[in-house]
């Protein structure tokens, strides 16, 4: 037994001619390399690389302070590193929300 909403093949063919087929070169897709992907992702959400750089800078400065024996400044930098990581995470989540909202519309 046929499905209730099935259209017989003869009715479908009588509805009109199939869309025209234009033989030609198929669209050319090139492989996206690491640098191309990095630039594209940075343009989509520039706050994530900025947050990563800030995290790396604060971490490096904190480790240098720790090596020099300035424990108070080192602790302050480690707390700042946590804040920079939180900013980076918030930027990533915000970028994902914006991308999801663009895909819906």
Q: What is the pLDDT of residue 105?
A: 80
Higher pLDDT, 23 or 81: 81
**Overall pTM > 0.85:** no
Residue 72 structure tokens: 């108070």
Has residue 12 got a pLDDT over 70? no
Residue 99 structure tokens: 């991308």
Category of 87 on φ-ψ map: left (φ > 0), alpha (ψ -120 to 50) or beta: alpha
Buried b (16+ CB within 10 A) or exposed e, 35-74: eeeeeeeeeebeebeebbebbeebbebbeebeeeeeeeeb
Q: Residue 55, Cα to own-chain centre: how many angstroms?
A: 19
């Amino acid at each position: 037994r046929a499905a209730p909403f099935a259209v017989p093949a003869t009715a479908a063919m009588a509805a009109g001619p199939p869309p025209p087929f234009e033989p030609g070169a198929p669209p050319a897709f090139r492989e996206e390399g690491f640098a191309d992907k990095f630039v594209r992702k940075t343009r989509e959400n520039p706050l994530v690389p900025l947050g990563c750089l800030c995290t790396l800078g604060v971490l490096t400065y904190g480790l240098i302070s720790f090596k020099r024996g300035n424990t108070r400044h080192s602790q302050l930098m480690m707390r700042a590193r946590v804040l920079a990581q939180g900013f980076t995470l918030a930027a990533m989540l915000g970028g994902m929300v914006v991308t999801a909202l663009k895909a819906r519309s």
